Amino acid sequence: MCDYSEGEWVRTTTPPPYNGTSCGGGTIKPGQDCISHGRPDTGYLQWRWRPRRCDLPPFSPADFLHAARGRHVAFVGDSLARNQCESLVCLLTSEFPADLIRGSNDGGADRDGNEARKFRRWVFPTHDVTVSVFWSPFLVNGTEKSAAVGGIDHNRLYLDQPDERWAAEVGEIDVVVLSAGHWFLHPAMYYEHGEFIGCHNCPEPNRTDTGFFSVFRLAVRNSLREIITRSTKSQSPKSKLAVVTTFSPAHFEGEWDARNACARAEPYAAGEKEVGFMDREMWKSEAEEVAAAAADAAARRARVRVEALQVTAMAAMRADAHPGPYMSAFPFAAGERERVPNDCVHWCLPGAIDTWNEILLQMVKRWREGDESSSR
């Protein structure tokens, strides 16, 4: 099996298969539609990931839909899970039509004013494939901090409780892609079995800061366990694929609203930049929990394949591929500005994150091939 996590970004002349115009229906979040928002350079589109010891084929919409025929693919997590989901939908709709059949199932206002983006579902009728996204920034049950008057200024996580907004549908999901991490960096209080167990940047006095690494690990562990447990209880003869997309590093240089917060024009070369301590710890936690969950699934004879989509190292090299100031449309139309909001976390679409789905395609193909051979 190929290790896609090691390699380098190499130049390509192949144009991206979609853009903000061709991927219709408002699929791409406006703040990540960098070309339409006036980003003048397009060099970030001219790079392709080349693994060190194997090949990574370009994304094929036909191959993905064939491998996922009759199945439901769901992305669960934060806005980077949504970023990857929107990339996949755009890649697929570059060749096959899709129907958006569900928007929001949750009230209130999204941080970006677009609640419907948190819970969306597309159907590809040519292959009976469903693609969904579920907003769940902690993977487990939690109360998000709120900027509203009277709202809490920190997160609250209940680590022993699944987030039923997605967990309740596990029985109907065949491929579940978990992706989270950045929301764990915010101040938070942690609870388990109704008891306070720790906090990060503790918002209450006389509390000992426990940090977030162990809590992030536990959230990943419990979420994978929930998938395996519910799948074991299910009477469905179909197998499942559970994927954890590992932590995607941010690239802020200096202050978040500095003109050049993430202004790099090219990827880092292999070996030029080390993965940061925090990013590596998050990655390590996810990889270890995936290995443990895979062993657990095997021991319980659960028909669940568990894998890590290890993007942390390749993502760390792509400081050039974020929206930066172009999270807002034409931010310099009235002239240069010394201070401007930047997005150095999410990825321009099309862009580097399309590679995540090239790897996901190979994982889905292996899963279906293994599923078909075991059923013969």
**Residue 233, pLDDT score:** 81
What's the pLDDT score for residue 372?
Answer: 63
pLDDT of residue 26: 87
Burial of 114: CB neighbours in 10 Å, binned 0-12, 13-18, 19+: middle
Does the pLDDT of residue 195 top 90, yes or no?
A: yes
Q: How high is the mean pLDDT of the chain?
A: 93
pTM of the model: 0.95
Mean pLDDT check: name the lowest of 45-49, 188-192, 269-273, 287-291: 269-273
- 218 pLDDT band (50/70/90 cuts)? very high
Cis, peptide link before residue 350, omega less than 30° from 0: yes
pLDDT tens for each residue of 47-74: 999 999 999 999 999 999 999 999 999 9
Tell me which residues are annotated as active site: 79, 343, 346
Residue 150's pLDDT is what? 67
Provide mean pLDDT across the span 14-22: 94
Q: How far is CA 111 from the centre of its chain?
A: 17
Q: Check: CB of residue 275 under 8 Å from CB of residue 313.
A: yes
Measured CA angle at 72 (ends 243, 161), to 5 deg: 60
**Residue 136: Cβ within 10 Å count:** 28
In percent, the amount of the chain with pLDDT more than 90 equals 83
Q: Where are the domains of the chain?
A: 7-374
How far is residue 36 CA from its own chain's centroid? 23
